[in-house]
Chains A and B, each alone.
Chain A
């Protein structure tokens, strides 16, 4: 097993920023990412073979894209060893990482680990949400930025938050028709929230610009509404939208139907905490976002000595926060190894950026009525096809936590390991069992955190439970946390 100085897991904004900062301070850094290129989802890079992507103005040549290019250029530093197409599928508190990459499995130990694993999108189910053509908003953006492909040509964008309008402008500029934006918050709530951005003129300016573009293009923004079902045979064909009350519960009557070939949904983001939880790092429940986030000290070291966390894994903060946290973690890890980073201390700037995000935190929260309204026959766990009704039965019968569900059904036990359904199931179980979402908890992080060949887990000597018949395609491991 090789011993390295610093392992950075995740090559998104936080991870790249951490790797470059630590390398410039003199440390030797190994940057590991599951994707074939650096940038993460935010600075998604097209394949090298694509040459220059001539994308619409809203996607290309913005300050953000320019900044991403400059940031990624820092990865050419000779102290950085890049390992793309490589999954970190296990981590121990003493910083041993199990990897699975193009050369198969390998193991390394790092003196310091910086986990910058990012976030996933939050989605709320409705009848038909598993139909092909229903995707996350981020998925549509990734297709656009990374592949130059439109997810559909008559698109309905639904969920909550300013991202919906930004994504709609991007899709519009790329030539799609946006049939409607369906925003959960009422107009009053939405603009009331926006006023809390006082002082953040760049964000307000961008928001207003987006709204003008949408208005000019005749895109209706349906405030205080939600998608209540989508219809189609083997793919989405129509979407039905209804008004919701202040609680998020759809109101009867006044439904509107749209002909669509794609429906893109996003209700915010959920920190990707599997690795920090596997390592045993302390987590907190972020009630504003209704999900776990990894706890650190001001130098971004977690409760496990030598393991740092940076970016969305600490709580949803956006790209500016992620870049600053990467720098802080990179400097702190390098300093612990005896290097002397001469970069400017970003703590003050960081606290300002985090405070601005905290003000935004609860603004675009998902409303509980939306979860209550999920009909019993709607699939919640896409992998194992467990319905909302089955979760409610389990909750009423005594499943007070997500980890207790397995006595009743296989929710969260499929290939995605609850990444999609966990936050949804927590809301449904909490409501059904009469407990808080915090106490309903999250599914335990298991090894491997994503499917790897079964033999790999066995040969790595990591203890694991015997796979069941339904798990024979992958090697789901023993519960650790």
Chain B
């Protein structure tokens, strides 16, 4: 259960990204949030104060809940950022 790619849609080229050190399949042009959710992630990080899990919420770059680390850069909005071949993503959901 959870997010699922709709079948029958012509997507970008299949690529491989690295999430927390593990290879994860994705498609060129996908947002990082979409790739993570399709691979089973719901929580992307924990909050600083309450240690509460957070993930994809507004989908349009205004809530800053879906932040991940991308190629070493922290606090990147995964809903606004596209994957690229070989990109290295670090989540912090535990």
- Chain A residues within 8 Å of B, Cβ to Cβ: 34-36, 41, 46-55, 120-121, 130-136, 138-140, 142-144, 146-154, 174-175, 234-235, 261-262, 379, 382-385, 414-416, 419-420, 450-451, 473-474
Contacts and interface: CB of A to CB of B under 8 A. Distances in A.
B74 A135 contact: no
Given A54-B9, A175-B6, A234 B56 contact: no
A149 B62 contact: no
B4 A416 contact: no
16 contacts: A34-B80, A35-B80, A49-B12, A132-B44, A138-B59, A139-B60, A148-B5, A151-B37, A151-B56, A152-B1, A152-B3, A175-B4, A234-B42, A235-B42, A382-B65, A385-B47
Nearest to B65: A382
Contacts of A35: 61, 80
B82 A47 contact: yes
B29 A46 contact: yes
Interface in B59-87: 59-65, 74-75, 79-80, 82
B22 interface: no
B53 A50 contact: no
Contact of B4 (A121, A150, A473): A150
Main secondary structure of the interface of B (DSSP, over half): loop
Given A138-B59, A379-B50, A419-B62, A53 B9 contact: yes
B90 interface: no
- The contact size tier of chain B is 35 or more
A373 B49 CA distance: 25
Main secondary structure of the interface of A (DSSP, over half): loop
Contacts of A149: 3-6, 34, 37-38
B19 to A, nearest CB: 15
Contacts, number: 154
B60 A385 contact: no
Contact of A130 (B11, B34, B54, B64): B54
Contacts of A49: 11-13, 27-29
Contacts of B82: 36, 47
Nearest to B4: A150
B57 A135 contact: yes
A281 to B, nearest CB: 20
A121 B57 CA distance: 11
Contacts of B21: none
Contacts of B44: 132
A52 B11 CA distance: 8
Contacts of A235: 2, 42-43, 53, 55
A139 B49 contact: no
A383 B66 CA distance: 11
A134 B31 CA distance: 18
B29 A47 contact: yes
